Amino acid sequence: EIVLTQSPATLSLSPGERATLSCRASQSVSSSLAWYQQKPGQAPRLLIYDASNRATGIPARFSGSGSGTDFTLTISSLEPEDFAVYYCQQRSSWPRTFGQGTKVEIK
Amino acid sequence: EVQLLESGGGLVQPGGSLRLSCAASGFTFSSYAMSWVRQAPGKGLEWVSSITGSGGGTYYADSVKGRFTISRDNSKNTLYLQMNSLRAEDTAVYFCALPYGSGGYLDYWGQGTLVTVSS
């Protein structure tokens, strides 16, 4: 099973600041990695797929990079609605796995 | 418009069984794989199971293998999760999810149904 480790667990930032979230895989997943956003009481929303492709309707301030074992989600300038929990997920192999999440909170 | 609507959650005793359903609409159901993902209270996301469009291929997390069975009825546009030998650690919101247009990733989700395993 591929283990995804996200860091940091919590990121405290102010609106307008840049957020950089990390996801590290225990073995290579090539580019088969996605990022999801989840707000309290809601289902997750797909943001980025195949490491760097924005899903439909996702604003350009969200970007993803990386391949192999190290991946980054960047939010260029935080909007109030971006404060949420973010998860990475791999679909390189079975079982599919998620990271434990990074909470982006208002400082 | 794609819609996924889960049902069947509730309170069940340890060792009991429950069957979840996910009614799908707005797309050609039989053409797409489907998945179940769960989230324990206050915890992160955990992939549970996936099934191919035809139903011929199924995949499970180790934590549920041998206890849960995923299936689908393409004539009814419905996905199922039969959960047996339930444990307290199976308590979670269960989401059905669809990899529709974004490279096989989960881009449509239901609202979730809560399963509580407790005596």
**Mean pLDDT score across all residues of chain A:** 97
Q: What single-letter DSSP state applies at residue A29? A: -
Tell me the chain A residues in contact with residue B44 when contact means C-beta distances shorter than 8 Å.
85, 87, 98-101
Check CB contact under 8 Å for A1 and B50. no
Distance in angstroms (rounded) separating the CA atoms of residues B42 and A41: 11
**Residue A27: what pLDDT?**
98
Which among A88, A37, A89, A91 has a CA at the least distance from the CA of A61?
A37
- At A23-34, the pLDDT tens digits run 999 999 999 999
Q: What percent of chain A has pLDDT over 90?
A: 100
Looking up tokens 């609605």 gives A81
User: Taking a C-beta distance cutoff of 8 angstroms, is the pair B64, B110 a contact?
Assistant: no
Return the amino acid letter for B25.
Answer: S
**Residue B91: what pLDDT?**
98
Per-residue burial over B60-96, b if 16 or more Cβ lie within 10 Å, else e, is bbeebeeebbbebeeeebbbbbebeebeeebbbbbbb
Distance in angstroms (rounded) separating the CA atoms of residues A30 and B35: 22
Nearest-5° angle of CA B6, CA B10, CA B12? 135
**Residue B101: what pLDDT?**
83
A45 has pLDDT over 90: yes
**Residue B103: what pLDDT?**
80
- Using DSSP's 3-state secondary structure scheme, residue A33 falls into strand
A1 has pLDDT over 90: yes
Most B CBs within 10 Å, among A33, A37, A46, to test the B interface: A46
A66 at the B interface (CB within 8 A)? no
**Residue A64: what pLDDT?**
98
Handedness of CA A91, A95, A99, A101 (dihedral sign): positive
Q: How confident is the model at residue A2 (pLDDT cuts 50, 70, 90)?
A: very high
B44 at the A interface (CB within 8 A)? yes
Say how many CB pairs under 8 Å bridge A and B: 65
**Residue B54: what pLDDT?**
95
Tell me the chain A residues in contact with residue B4 when contact means C-beta distances shorter than 8 Å.
none
- At A80-99, the pLDDT tens digits run 999 999 999 999 999 999 99
Q: How confident is the model at residue A44 (pLDDT cuts 50, 70, 90)?
A: very high
B119 at the A interface (CB within 8 A)? no
Q: What is the mean pLDDT of each run of 10 residues along chain B (119 residues)?
A: 97 98 97 97 97 96 97 98 98 96 91 97
Q: Which of B47, B110, B111 is opposite residue A96, by nearest beta carbon?
A: B47
Instruction: Determine the distance in angstroms separating the CA of B95 from the nearest CA of chain A, rounded to an integer.
Output: 8
Q: Which of B44, B106, B112 is opposite residue A100, by nearest beta carbon?
A: B44
User: Taking a C-beta distance cutoff of 8 angstroms, is the pair A14, A78 a contact?
Assistant: yes
